[in-house]
A = this chain, B = another copy of it.
């Protein structure tokens, strides 16, 4: 693998006597310096470090040529918007250029988290291995949240692995987001309880820039494990930010991207944009128009896209291809042979044709899918070596029945009826010499916040972490250090500290006596992300 970002372009030229090398030189200049040769003010380093080198120029068809441009990764500042600009920014205005391949160096790839769960994480959450997954689509727009929840229940009872909102369902007055998400998630959880089969719900969070994070937070709080989002409607790098910030599965919808695939001699190959780039962005699943459906991807392109999602790409987890459209019961065997096991069949209309048969249709589709994969199982055949995030689980609460109105303080910083507990159970976060005492919130009190007392002995520290829920900390014993974001505070008795959502933080005792503090948090809260 080279150290450069290698982008392979095809150019069409029917001009007589064109200079093939000059065609690619034009792209090289347009995508970086945006001035012709000779405008560099005698700064020769620009030609050697900024303008990409051109290699492997070759004819591939009548009037059509291919070459690879090797860009210095630093030109992209290793960020997605400028990478897109280098890939196809200005030359999107030239009618004869197509991006057909990219090869990204480790140095660039390691900046990106990519899919947070990917194929192994989603399979682990579902407990489904050895067969493709079935994703059913909630639609049409115009149904009420109650109607959609009923439909979701039918899909779930029929055995769908995933149920996603249609991407046109946002926060319309006739179908408000919060109501839809609450009712659909409840309906699916109720169905899961009946079937013992696990179905995941992916609501569509595509919305205005100010609201996106609220949508995801609301979904997370309601127990939702994944979301649908359309990167070309909200911004590709916005999705990368969301994927790398929240512990949630990202299913990407390709709305508005068709313009790049419209002309085989122009644009960007689907395997590059919906494959490699969407995976880089953090898509755990990438939806694309299935061959034979109502749109127009070729079987070769569908396979190439699947390969870009599932094949090796630095340290990034593999993502699920999610072909959509044109999936009928009759072509499941062909699709099984074509796409193989690690695929999500995204099926809308075919399950909905007759409303009374939704559950039956879903069940028949699932059986048909499974019948082509006799090795299907609920256990991973081989333990994956890929590091996987834990599936979110509700915090275990301790219920002891009787609620105390009064907890007496003891001289040794303990409280009656509230024994100290280990700081954290079963998590793989580094911490040292710290204990917790749940004062209010975990013994049956009806609270929306919890009050805990933590104590850190000399030389100890809490885990370095961040999360959506905020912290309010009040020091009551000794003295400690609180790192919040890039700031360092000393906490002395009755000093108060506030940690805003997603601010990295850690408490440290650098003194030689115990450091004790109250910490107040939301009762319902997300799990910390280790840093």
Q: For A103, list chain B residues within 8 Å (CB).
A: none
**Complex-state Cα separation, A50 to B208, whole angstroms:** 21
Of all chain B residues, which has the CB nearest A413?
A: B494
Q: For A413, list chain B residues within 8 Å (CB).
A: 494
Contacting B at CB under 8 A, from A207-266, are 207-211, 230, 232-238, 240-241, 254-263, 266
Q: For A349, list chain B residues within 8 Å (CB).
A: 34-36, 39
Contact yes or no, B235 A520, CB < 8 A: no
Of all chain B residues, which has the CB nearest A477?
A: B494
**Complex-state Cα separation, A41 to B140, whole angstroms:** 9
Q: For A95, list chain B residues within 8 Å (CB).
A: 262, 296
Q: For A49, list chain B residues within 8 Å (CB).
A: 142, 174
CB distance from A488 to the nearest CB of B (A): 10
Contact yes or no, B409 A89, CB < 8 A: no
* CB within 8 Å for A142 and B501 given contacts A258-B91, A494-B476, A496-B407: no
**Complex-state Cα separation, A77 to B170, whole angstroms:** 7
CB distance from A41 to the nearest CB of B (A): 5
Q: Indicate how many identical chains form the complex.
A: 2
Q: For A353, list chain B residues within 8 Å (CB).
A: 39
**Complex-state Cα separation, A348 to B36, whole angstroms:** 11
Q: For A476, list chain B residues within 8 Å (CB).
A: 476, 494
> Does A339 lie at the interface of the complex (its beta carbon under 8 Å from any beta carbon of B)?
no
Contact yes or no, B39 A140, CB < 8 A: yes
Of all chain B residues, which has the CB nearest A81?
A: B233
Chain A 59-95 interface 0/1 with B at a Cβ cutoff of 8 Å (1 = within): 0000000000000001101011110111011111111
Chain A 466-491 interface 0/1 with B at a Cβ cutoff of 8 Å (1 = within): 00001010101000001011010101
> Does A107 lie at the interface of the complex (its beta carbon under 8 Å from any beta carbon of B)?
no
> Does A267 lie at the interface of the complex (its beta carbon under 8 Å from any beta carbon of B)?
yes
Among the 9-residue stretches A3-11, A377-385, A447-455, the one with 4 or more Cβ atoms under 8 Å from chain B is A447-455
Q: CB within 8 A of A235: which of B33, B82, B143, B209?
A: B209
Contact yes or no, B141 A496, CB < 8 A: no
Contact yes or no, B403 A500, CB < 8 A: yes
Contact yes or no, A415 B496, CB < 8 A: yes
> Does A405 lie at the interface of the complex (its beta carbon under 8 Å from any beta carbon of B)?
yes
What residues make up the interface of A, taking CB atoms closer than 8 Å to B?
A: 31-36, 39-43, 45-46, 49-50, 74-75, 77, 79-82, 84-86, 88-95, 137, 139-143, 147, 166-168, 170-174, 206-211, 230, 232-238, 240-241, 254-263, 266-267, 289, 295-296, 348-349, 352-353, 355, 403-409, 413, 415, 439-440, 445-449, 451, 470, 472, 474, 476, 482, 484-485, 487, 489, 491-501, 503, 518, 520, 522
The 3 A-B residue pairs with the shortest CB-CB distance, nearest first, are A235-B235, A92-B258, A33-B140
A-B contact pairs, 17 of them (CB 8 A): A34-B166, A35-B139, A42-B355, A49-B142, A50-B174, A74-B174, A79-B170, A82-B207, A209-B238, A259-B260, A403-B498, A405-B497, A406-B498, A409-B496, A439-B496, A447-B470, A449-B522
